[in-house]
Copies of this chain bind each other. A is one copy, B any other.
């Protein structure tokens, strides 16, 4: 799983340092991130938050405290910031032991129990941990994200406020062509003049729609009035002229069970790259927060596979030394191909 934030170094002043984009495309976003994520005023606010230290009786996770409030860069202007959290790996076990009651305390370590819980779909103990993020993201990503209903959300309101002039423009290496074989996927990357034309259109349309947004509002995002002699269109109306790649931001809070569900869908290779970039950054925060749960999640969910009744039957026959073809399998052609890929069989004929 690629993780866009793995090598990010937090400098402590609200900016980030990343290795310069060397020849190798190891981190294709790197060149984009040599940038300020926050305004100086925002930097100061983050710094002040980070300098405060309280005493608490609550469970505390040093590895997550280390990055608390820091923006983790995602895409060209977005970020993920951990604002608060509740619980740790031990809190899962603590809650589960209420379920299990007397007698289980000495039998297993926390890790063993966490593995067991996840493998057997005992999901409620994972709901006893909670995390709160501040996220900056393009509107079309926010529209996918919000489909996850079991979370708490407060979004910056363009009904009351003026949005900033920040739009997502893909890095050239992410300008994927429409897949010819699969309606749902990306194909090759556009190159040369085709790529340049797309970037030009995205940039100029974003700039123009934003300029017209300000003209309709008769006001800039800094509060400057353009023409004192006339009224501006209501903010709740003017915003409709903005394009879906404009950045918005929200507070998003979720329990660990639902976070894992979100990540299992959005850090998946089938998810659109842009939301996956956020999910990857959040996977890293999860690893810092609840390392035992993270490892179990990687093993059982992220790298695990689900086989249908028909699929597992094919596996059993193959293991018994039988040659099985798609025709004999009872699987559809599509499911057969998916199964062979899962089993790592290049011959695709299921021969033993």
Residues of A within 8 A of B (CB): 49-50, 52-60, 65, 68-69, 84-87, 91, 94-96, 98-104, 112, 115-116, 119-121, 124-125, 127-128, 130, 132, 134, 138-140, 142-143, 146-147, 149-150, 152-157, 159-162, 168, 170, 174-179, 183-188, 190, 194, 197-198, 201-202, 205, 208-209, 212, 215-217, 219, 221, 223, 230-237, 239-245, 249-251, 253, 255, 265, 270, 272, 298-300, 302-312, 315-316, 318-319, 332, 334-335, 338, 342-345, 352
Beta-carbon contact of B50 and A53 below 8 Å:
no
Beta-carbon contact of B184 and A160 below 8 Å:
yes
Residue in chain B with minimal CB distance to A215: B201
Question: Please, which residues of chain B bring their CB within 8 A of the CB of A244?
Answer: 139, 239-244
Beta-carbon contact of A319 and B345 below 8 Å:
yes
Question: Please, which residues of chain B bring their CB within 8 A of the CB of A160?
Answer: 99-101, 183-184
CA distance A85 to B85 in the complex (A): 9
Beta-carbon contact of B304 and A309 below 8 Å:
yes
Beta-carbon contact of A56 and B56 below 8 Å:
yes
Number of copies: 4
**Could you tell me the distance in whole angstroms from the C-beta of A148 to the nearest C-beta in chain B?**
9
Question: Please, which residues of chain B bring their CB within 8 A of the CB of A315?
Answer: 315, 319, 343
CA distance A341 to B14 in the complex (A): 48
Beta-carbon contact of B69 and A65 below 8 Å:
no
